[in-house]
Amino acid sequence: MRRIDETAWVAACREAAPFSPLARLVGGKTSPLLWGIPTGLLAGQEKLPQAVRTQRVKSDLLADRNTILAQMGSDLADFTTALNKLALGYLLPAIAKVDKSDLTARLLTALLAVTEAAPGNESADAALNQLILGCELPLVLALISPDAKLAAALRKSALSVEAKLAVAWFDPFALPKANVRELLRPWLASLVRSHELLRSTETQFSEAARERLERMARHALRLSRPDGSFVLLQAAGLACDREFLTAAVLATKSTPPIAELAFGKHKTEPKPVKGMPAAPLYSPQASLAVLRNRWAAPQLQVTADFAREQVWLDLSSGNQSLLHGEWSAKVQIDGRAANPIGPWTEVCWHTDKDCDYLEIEQKLSGGWLMQRHLLLVRQDECLLMADSLLNEQNKLTPANALDTSVPPPRLEYSCSVPLAKPVSFVPQQESREGHLVCNKKPLALVMPLAMPEWRAQPMAGDLTSHDNCLRHSLRTNARNLFAPLWLDLSPTRFKNPATWRQLTIGESLLVQPRDVAVGYRVQVNFTQWLLYRSLAWRGNRTVLGKNFATDFVCCRFLPNGETQDILEVQ
């Protein structure tokens, strides 16, 4: 434990008042210490953090000195207590100015002890606490310290802790790992404050740390709606969200032009700026994908977290989240549940000027495999959400595909994803499509391509909403199954007629069953798309006059009848 001259420290605190190292960051009504913290997490205990904004310590704040001192020895895993300790560090000069007892000296000793203890706790629950107490708090105390050597030691220790924590909890792309995903914003907020604490000192973050700060700021913009709200949460953006993101942008060099687009400063995407990073993002280490059609607001964005047993998904259009929560699926084979027996793993990630595409897979019991597809078509503002159910144990071959002596199993598939509040699903009465609607305003057209368009045609399946979830179900006798949903997210087409058809697949002059390959034609007004998915062996097949020898194809029909490839997966 470090020994200090308490008298000299208290005198230094009183000389430092008024102490406002975050003055450049204080522009609104929210303390910078509260940036990035979800509403309600502190359970009404915001007095100390909020006081940092004004650097005013009222008498009632220090009335119960025993309670304040008791917090110094509390568990580091409690975030509210850790944040209050950090706030007391910022408030030391203000406290010293009004304190007539030994409270300031005792706080100094206790806070210095906290900075030494913070790096020792390595649990995920305490990760953010380690950062604010092991990195940010030492930088605060270093600004107050009357001892230059001790100040240098505190800064050196702080930068070392930040580097170690970054390796422990973030991937090489500076994305938080799955078990600390929600820490991105408060973590970035602490780094922005730490960057400001070092601004006027000789000690600075390393090049690697500055690059992490740049990347995290870009991730925060990617994972934000134009109003500043966090896509991992349903809550609408608050003024403090914009304050936080603005401060993060100003602390970096590369993000200001991106922020102008993401915050809706430009109505259209300008010509690409050399060196500007792509709007989509994929991290295999973090098991996170962001499919985004552009930086400029209003953007279409799909955020998929497949680090858990059930994929977590958010679909946002501009400021409004449409789908938000676990995209879960249930499968029964001949009445027996096929349950997940492994994690989701990457099959394919692709991004270019036309689309973003993610394909992942998960093994199920009984020798079955679930493959999940997400395709965001940029120009057309459409999204494909689909599941492929494949029998890996008894794979289809050309020899047994048409064998009727062994009946195919009974497949029962259903998936659901929560509707974001206040979005609802409004189905059509005569046809099977429906709209996602918010306050009577349509936001998306949803078409279940594997089912006939008209309800008059019999089909064992449905697309409905239940318990505030969008539910898609199919039941059939087959060896494989493809369950696609096509979402048209372009407001200019919502009032136009829409239709779709299942197409005939041919190979070697034979019509192929739907558990071998499927094809669909989708049309909204005058815009048409063609989808093809192989579910069995790879073969040269014909659909709508087009030959395909690949696993998956999505293309757009041109006015002259030709097709333009959007995506082809070999």
CB atoms within 10 A of CB 458: 6
Whether 49 has a pLDDT exceeding 90, the answer reads: no
Q: Tell me the pLDDT tens digit for each residue of 193-229.
A: 999 999 889 999 999 999 999 999 999 989 988 888 8
Q: Percentage of residues in the chain with pLDDT exceeding 90? A: 56
Q: Which among 39, 35, 53, 83 is positioned nearest to 242, based on CA atoms?
A: 35
Q: Tell me the pLDDT tens digit for each residue of 56-111.
A: 777 666 666 666 666 666 566 688 888 989 999 999 998 888 877 888 888 888 89
- Beta-bridge mates of residue 357: 350, 375
Q: Pick the most confident of 16-30, 38-52, 71-85, 535-549.
A: 535-549
Reported as a pLDDT band with limits 50, 70 and 90, residue 429 is: very high
- Beta-bridge mates of residue 541: 548
pTM of the model: 0.90
Q: Tell me the pLDDT tens digit for each residue of 134-174.
A: 999 999 999 999 999 999 999 999 999 999 999 999 999 99
Strand 382-391 and strand 345-351: pairing? unpaired
Q: Pick the most confident of 102-116, 117-131, 244-258, 395-409.
A: 102-116
pLDDT of residue 407: 87
Q: Which among 187, 267, 182, 191 is positioned nearest to 226, based on CA atoms?
A: 267
Name 530's Cβ contacts closer than 8 Å, sequence gap at least 6. 519, 520, 521, 522, 543, 544, 546, 553, 554, 555, 556, 557, 563
Q: Tell me the pLDDT tens digit for each residue of 341-400.
A: 999 999 999 999 999 999 999 999 999 999 999 999 999 999 999 999 999 876 777 777
Prior bond of 398 cis (ω within 30°): no
- Using DSSP's 3-state secondary structure scheme, residue 264 falls into coil
Strand 300-305 and strand 288-292: pairing? antiparallel
Largest CA distance in the chain: 96
b or e along 357-372 (b: 16 or more beta carbons within 10 Å of the residue's beta carbon)? bbbbbbbbebebbbbb
Q: Backbone phi, then psi, for 271, in 5-degree steps?
A: -60, 145
Q: Tell me the pLDDT tens digit for each residue of 479-521.
A: 999 999 999 999 999 889 999 999 999 998 889 999 999 999 9
Q: Kind and range of the H or E element at 15? A: helix 6-16
Q: Which among 400, 375, 217, 201 is positioned nearest to 300, based on CA atoms?
A: 375
Token pair for residue 127? 């990760």
Whether 43 has a pLDDT exceeding 70, the answer reads: no
Q: Tell me the pLDDT tens digit for each residue of 265-286.
A: 655 555 556 677 889 999 998 9
Q: Tell me the pLDDT tens digit for each residue of 314-357.
A: 999 988 999 999 999 999 999 999 999 999 999 999 999 999 99
